[in-house]
Structure 1
Amino acid sequence: MKLLHVDSSILSGNSASRLLTAETVAAWRAAHPDTTVEYLDLAVDTPSHFSADALGIKTGVQAQPTEAQQRENALSEKLVSQFLAADVVVVGAPLYNFTIPSQLKAWIDRLAQAGRTFKYTDKGPVGLAGGKTVIVASSRGGIYSTTEGGQATEHQESYLKVIFGFFGITDVRFVRAEGLGMGDAVKNAALASARGDIGTATAEAANQSVAALAA
């Protein structure tokens, strides 16, 4: 089994999402010692933002791609191939300004490739990357999950559910720590709750993966 561990926080060792992804991966490996892990740190190795050159080689407008288009395409192919090869993807996604970090968005833009992670049909789009599990470690300074107003203003978990669903992934689980900026007592309770989520997410996802492999 292959696991892709992705971090995107810019806070290095002070990051709650990095702490939670590390603990999630450790819990997964404890349940599945044969799992191989590949690590991607998007804050260190950030894909360039999606551009006309990244898109150009896909459109086939030019008979001969430019050097810039070839370079951008090589990066996109490397990232989407790495993603598609993984059975399990653990993603650290802190909330920055009501949404995900731009580094994480740049990675997702490279994954969204027609013919690789989705396709269009006469009945609409169809995801092509199903059959894998995604576990998102979600960290937030405030509390957003408990009120309609909070849910309406976060475009972090809501966006990730949509985009991974668009790729055909139906098994998306969240390990959430929120209220991290609201004092030590709230922070400690949030991390304790998130650790409970880790146990649930890795156990349930592990059971589904074992069933899929046995089918």
Structure 2
Amino acid sequence: MKNLLVIHSSPKLSQSITRELTTEFIEKWQTANPQGTITHRDVGANPPSHLTEETIGAFYTPAEQRTEAQNQALSVSDELIAELRAADEIVIASPMHNFSITSGLKTWIDQVARVGETFHYTEQGPQGLLKDRPVYVITASGGDYRAHTPIAFLNHQDTYLKVALNFIGLQDIRLIQAAGVAAGEAPINEARAALTEAISA
């Protein structure tokens, strides 16, 4: 029985293209996996807390040496990482904000990119510790910033998410883009078709 982790990051609870597309993805995924379970994490409506000096200090303190305050500071990170580990597949809904990801999604990444838990340092450099699995990244942007366009250099969303997810061990990134939605429905329909293809693959 598969478990799907769904991460919404749009602050908009209505009229959000990424929420709409992700809802369609969930419906298709549930049809393909009728016994599957779904875990929802909405970092758009309820963003994780920003890292503090105490949180960062706790990250680098061995578990047996942490104070009660440090353990409390790690509670959010512990919960989010546990959700990641339990998921067989992940879907991240990510609207572009100012050429990159939303602030809520950035705090989620800050909480899950944790030394000794999701990555560690080796002589060859940092190495991700999470088991690889499919990560469907559903994005939406007003302009078309895809790789073949003249303004692709402004797209710091796709590149950042790929680097951040690869860093913790998630290599199988499957990008579904609604690019240039300011121009009309066509990009959204293209993304819908990509959803169907991704689920049936």
CA–CA distance in structure 1, aligned partners of residues 48 and 37 of structure 2 = 23
Q: Which has the higher helix share?
A: 1
Residue by residue over 1:48-87, the C-alpha shift from the partner in whole angstroms, topping out at 9 and shown as x without a partner, is: 11221211112229x55362x3322011101111111101
Q: Secondary structure at the match of 2:108?
A: helix
CA–CA distance in structure 2, aligned partners of residues 89 and 49 of structure 1 = 23
Indicate the residue corresponding to 1:161 in structure 2: 162
Residue by residue over 1:94-137, the C-alpha shift from the partner in whole angstroms, topping out at 9 and shown as x without a partner, is: 00000000100000111101222111111122111133110011
Aligned identity (percent) is: 33
Matched, 1:192 2:189: yes
Asked whether the 8 Å contact 2:18–2:95 carries over to 1, the reply is yes
- One-letter code aligned to 1:101: T
| Superposition deviation, residue 148 in structure 1 | 5.2
Asked whether the 8 Å contact 1:87–1:131 carries over to 2, the reply is no
Give the aligned CA root-mean-square deviation in angstroms: 1.8
| Superposition deviation, residue 147 in structure 1 | 4.1
CA–CA distance in structure 2, aligned partners of residues 64 and 162 of structure 1 = 30
Stretches of structure 2 that go unaligned for 5 or more consecutive residues are none
- One-letter code aligned to 1:191: I
TM-score by length of 1: 0.87
Q: Secondary structure at the match of 2:93?
A: strand
Residue by residue over 1:146-168, the C-alpha shift from the partner in whole angstroms, topping out at 9 and shown as x without a partner, is: 54542211111111111111122
Pairs aligned (count): 199
Q: Secondary structure at the match of 1:158?
A: helix
CA–CA distance in structure 2, aligned partners of residues 167 and 201 of structure 1 = 23
CA–CA distance in structure 2, aligned partners of residues 15 and 120 of structure 1 = 38
Q: Secondary structure at the match of 1:97?
A: coil
Structural mapping, 1:54-69, within 5 Å: 54-60=55-61, 63=65, 65=67, 67=69, 69=70
| Superposition deviation, residue 93 in structure 1 | 0.3
Structural mapping, 1:17-166, within 5 Å: 17-60=18-61, 63=65, 65=67, 67=69, 69-145=70-146, 147=148, 149-166=150-167
Q: Secondary structure at the match of 1:4?
A: strand
Q: Secondary structure at the match of 2:116?
A: coil
| Superposition deviation, residue 43 in structure 1 | 2.0
CA–CA distance in structure 2, aligned partners of residues 74 and 146 of structure 1 = 38
Q: Secondary structure at the match of 1:6?
A: strand
- One-letter code aligned to 1:199: T
TM-score by length of 2: 0.92
Stretches of structure 1 that go unaligned for 5 or more consecutive residues are 205-215
CA–CA distance in structure 2, aligned partners of residues 203 and 41 of structure 1 = 26
CA–CA distance in structure 2, aligned partners of residues 170 and 103 of structure 1 = 22
Asked whether the 8 Å contact 2:60–2:115 carries over to 1, the reply is no
| Superposition deviation, residue 203 in structure 1 | 2.3
Asked whether the 8 Å contact 1:130–1:170 carries over to 2, the reply is no
CA–CA distance in structure 1, aligned partners of residues 66 and 137 of structure 2 = 39
Q: Secondary structure at the match of 2:90?
A: strand
Say if 1:33 and 1:153 are closer, same or farther in 2 by CA, change over 3 A. Answer: same
Q: Secondary structure at the match of 2:38?
A: strand
Asked whether the 8 Å contact 2:13–2:45 carries over to 1, the reply is no
